[in-house]
């Protein structure tokens, strides 16, 4: 009995020794579901080039990533929204101070059913539609049908961005909310499917999801401006009004692999991967 | 000496296993209470339970869960209306009428139904049931409480059928023979003798089926639309308590009022399913 225990103990100690002796360094990246594919693409390429590095990328939502960064269980948090003051306070209380790096851009496309006659809207019209003030398609030049509003769940960075920048027009004083009868769907794919099958639906998702099964709405800042389609060019040139930055957050004391990985993500090679995964490079 | 020592150790180990589940439940409940009750530092209990707006991430957050409670109740009610008659009918058929081979096939089928993961049922519902509900009732969307109720009814059926069937099976044979001897037909025997005699087990079956429905998360999240409005019927989108926790927990800032509110919703769910299970237990042991 005791013999087994000793053997077990030696095994555990032995493995530890072996791990410490080797040069493998590990990096934990966690956060935004929007960015998981991008993060994984970066990690895979980086590990191909640096076989002694190990990078694990997991999703869970921007808030999950922040929570892990604060508690120290991940090295880099991916986030599709800015860090909140409350989270900074919590991190400071633990002696950490998160640093923000912008790593990519994402355009948010507003989509309707391909048969919908409406093809362009202003930001004000979008705000009115998603907050429920415009309830019928004929008010914006479409058929006489009730508008079915599709939104992501509140755990989505996309939801938060859309509310703050479209519904509330970047004005923190505005208290506009999504209409209470807006359908809350748990994934961008669910929105894509529902829009494709429902002629009176309107929804939003990241540009990567655009497909011929939905019709993309051209958006204008106001009635006098030009209506712009969400294309990579338009987002890079900052013409399309609904685009957002994607961030990496890390704790200031973390160096080494984390720093190298972020440098890689920002390099021309890293930014080429951004384009491959249907996001928009920052340069 | 060594034998006695061994005996002692094993006894204590088994004791530990025996009370482990109780300890876990207690720990979970304590944790739920500790985290959930903190929400009442931010919002009064009346506002929380009867508030009509659920905007948890706004500043200031609006944490009214009345739409969510009613959403859960509506879906559960719909699922019960569908699954109880079908489930009981099925149980009676299996226990009393079906010949040997049919019985085995049916029982196997029911067990298989219980084995389908809820996310799979949700996915099937999303692809097939949601468009069907939309077209049949001419709605603007098929993501409604009714779609959720139908899928949940499938999930409650196995529980209802197997427990109700056991209850019918446990009715002493002499009751049935007595009824036949008095000249009752088979149906009269089932309706007037067997069902009343098995009533406590049947009520327990229904309660446990409902307990399964109210705690179900994945399928309802996928097909009920999740709008936090006070539902006026089953043909509208609605949002349940479980879906709210599942959808929002990932993003809630730890230690925020939103985070505590989700735990408080957990307490409410815990209380509801605890009440349902206790009721079922009372009925199950009524005649024992």
| Residue A6 forms part of a structural domain | no
CATH number at A53 reads: 3.40.190.10
Residues A112 and A239 in one domain: yes
In this predicted structure, the answer to whether residue B130 has a pLDDT above a threshold of 50 is yes
| Residue B145 forms part of a structural domain | yes
Nearest-Cα distance to chain A for B233, in Å, is 13
Asked if the C-beta of A70 comes within 8 angstroms of chain B's C-beta atoms, the answer is: yes
Residues A101 and A186 in one domain: no
Asked if the C-beta of A37 comes within 8 angstroms of chain B's C-beta atoms, the answer is: no
Pairing mode of beta strands B62-63, A120-122? unpaired
Cα dist from B37 to A226, A268, B6, B55, B235, whole Å: 52, 51, 45, 19, 34
In this predicted structure, the answer to whether residue B163 has a pLDDT above a threshold of 80 is yes
Confidence of residue B287 (pLDDT cuts 50, 70, 90): low
- Spatial neighbors of B7 by CB under 8 A, at least 6 apart, are none
In whole angstroms, give the CA distance from residue A106 to residue A42: 16
The shortest CB-CB distance from B248 to any of A86, A153, A194 is to A153
Surface-to-core class of residue B86, CB atoms within 10 Å of its CB (0-12 exposed, 13-18 middle, 19+ buried): middle
| Count of A-B CB contacts under 8 Å | 83
Nearest-Cα distance to chain A for B134, in Å, is 9
Residue A71, domain extent? 19-105+245-276
Average pLDDT over residues B131-138: 92
The shortest CB-CB distance from B247 to any of A70, A181, A186 is to A186
Position B162 scores a pLDDT of 93
ipTM of the complex: 0.76
Q: Give chain B positions within 8 Å (CB) of A86.
A: 253, 255-256
Residues A100 and A204 in one domain: no
Residues A32 and A69 in one domain: yes
pTM of the model: 0.78
Q: pLDDT tens-digit profile of A258-268? A: 888 999 999 99
Residue B78, domain extent? 54-284
Residues A115 and A208 in one domain: yes
Confidence of residue B54 (pLDDT cuts 50, 70, 90): very high
Q: Give chain A positions within 8 Å (CB) of B247.
A: 153-155, 184, 186
Confidence of residue A13 (pLDDT cuts 50, 70, 90): very low
In whole angstroms, give the CA distance from residue B189 to residue B104: 23
Nearest-Cα distance to chain A for B253, in Å, is 6
Position A24 scores a pLDDT of 56
Q: pLDDT tens-digit profile of B213-256? A: 999 999 999 999 999 989 988 999 999 999 999 988 876 777 88
CATH number at B270 reads: 1.10.3720.10
| Residue A45 forms part of a structural domain | yes
Residues A113 and A144 in one domain: yes
Q: Give chain B positions within 8 Å (CB) of A185.
A: 225-226
Average model confidence (pLDDT) across chain A: 85
In this predicted structure, the answer to whether residue A222 has a pLDDT above a threshold of 90 is no
Average model confidence (pLDDT) across chain B: 91
Cα dist from A136 to A125, B130, B134, B157, B209, whole Å: 12, 22, 18, 40, 41
The shortest CB-CB distance from B255 to any of A90, A160, A182 is to A90
In this predicted structure, the answer to whether residue B137 has a pLDDT above a threshold of 50 is yes
Position A19 scores a pLDDT of 41
Asked if the C-beta of A115 comes within 8 angstroms of chain B's C-beta atoms, the answer is: no
Residues A262 and A221 in one domain: no
| Residue B4 forms part of a structural domain | no
Residues A145 and A61 in one domain: no
Number of domains present in the structure of chain B: 1
């Amino acid at each position: 009995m005791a013999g087994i225990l000793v053997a077990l103990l030696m095994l555990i100690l032995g493995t530890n020794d072996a791990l410490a002796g080797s040069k493998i360094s590990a990096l934990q990246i966690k956060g935004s579901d929007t960015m998981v594919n991008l993060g994984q693409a970066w990690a895979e390429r980086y590990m191909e080039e640096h076989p002694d590095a190990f990078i694990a990328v997991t999703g869970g939502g921007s808030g999950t990533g922040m929570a892990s960064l604060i508690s120290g269980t991940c090295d880099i948090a991916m986030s599709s929204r800015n860090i909140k003051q409350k989270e900074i306070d919590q991190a400071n209380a633990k002696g950490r101070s998160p640093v923000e790096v912008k790593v990519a851009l994402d355009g948010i496309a507003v989509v309707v059913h391909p048969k919908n006659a409406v093809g362009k809207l202003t930001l004000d019209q979008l705000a009115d539609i998603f907050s429920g003030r415009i309830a019928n398609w004929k008010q914006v030049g479409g058929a006489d049908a009730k508008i079915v509003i599709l939104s992501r769940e509140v755990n989505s960075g996309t939801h938060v961005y859309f509310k703050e920048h479209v519904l509330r027009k970047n004005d923190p004083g505005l208290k506009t909310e999504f209409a209470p009868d807006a359908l809350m769907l748990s994934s961008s794919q669910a929105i894509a499917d529902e829009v494709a099958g429902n002629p009176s639906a309107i929804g939003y998702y990241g540009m990567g999801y655009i497909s011929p099964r939905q019709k993309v709405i051209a958006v204008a800042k106001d009635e006098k401006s030009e209506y712009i389609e969400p294309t990579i060019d338009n987002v890079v040139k900052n013409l399309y009004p609904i685009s957002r930055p994607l961030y990496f957050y890390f704790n200031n004391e973390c160096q080494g692999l984390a720093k190298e990985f972020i440098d890689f993500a920002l390099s021309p090679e890293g930014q080429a991967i951004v384009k491959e995964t249907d996001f928009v490079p920052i340069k | 000496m060594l034998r006695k020592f061994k005996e002692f150790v094993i006894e204590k180990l088994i004791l530990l296993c025996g009370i482990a589940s109780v300890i876990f439940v207690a720990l979970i409940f304590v944790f739920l209470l500790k985290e959930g009750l903190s929400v009442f530092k931010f919002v009064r209990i009346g506002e929380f339970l009867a508030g009509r707006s659920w905007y948890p991430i706004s500043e200031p957050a609006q944490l009214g869960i009345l739409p969510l409670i009613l959403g859960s109740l509506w879906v559960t009610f719909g699922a019960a209306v569908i699954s109880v008659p079908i489930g009981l009918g099925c149980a009676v058929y299996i226990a009393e009428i079906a010949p040997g081979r049919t019985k085995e096939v049916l029982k196997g089928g029911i067990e298989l139904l219980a084995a389908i993961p809820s996310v799979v049922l949700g996915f099937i519902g999303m692809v097939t049931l949601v468009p069907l509900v939309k077209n049949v009732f001419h709605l603007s969307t098929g993501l409604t409480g009714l779609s959720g109720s139908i899928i949940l009814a499938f999930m409650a059926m196995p529980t209802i059928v197997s427990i109700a069937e056991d209850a019918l099976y446990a009715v002493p044979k002499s009751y049935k023979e007595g009824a036949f001897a008095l000249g009752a037909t088979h149906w009269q025997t089932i309706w007037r003798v067997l069902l009343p005699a098995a009533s406590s087990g049947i009520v327990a079956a229904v309660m446990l089926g409902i307990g399964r429905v109210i705690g179900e998360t994945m399928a309802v999240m996928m097909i009920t639309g999740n709008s936090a409005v006070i539902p006026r019927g089953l043909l509208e989108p609605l949002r349940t308590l479980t879906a709210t926790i599942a959808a929002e927990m990932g993003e809630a800032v730890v230690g925020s009022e939103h985070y505590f509110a989700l735990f408080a919703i957990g307490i409410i769910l815990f209380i509801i399913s605890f009440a349902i299970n206790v009721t079922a237990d009372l009925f199950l042991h009524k005649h024992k």
